Amino acid sequence: MLGYALMFFIIAIIAGVLGFFTLASAAAGIAKVLFVVFLVLFVISFIFGRRRV
């Protein structure tokens, strides 16, 4: 998940430099969503993974 977020972030940077601002905006939006999903899943797995009875 984090790998996909980084990939879309790099695509957004390259598209922004080349002048494809619509594509850059879309890729940056996707990267933000994927990063938030990664953070949520990481926190959930950290909390529930620590509970050993």
For residue 32, the enclosing domain spans 2-49
Q: What is the pLDDT of residues 1-53, one digit of tens each?
A: 788 888 989 999 999 999 999 999 999 999 999 999 999 999 999 888 876 66
Report if pTM > 0.85: no
Closest to 1 measured CA to CA, from 42, 33, 34: 34
Return the residue matching tokens 């797995």.
Answer: 45
Number of domains into which the chain is organized: 1
Return the residue matching tokens 């050993």.
Answer: 52
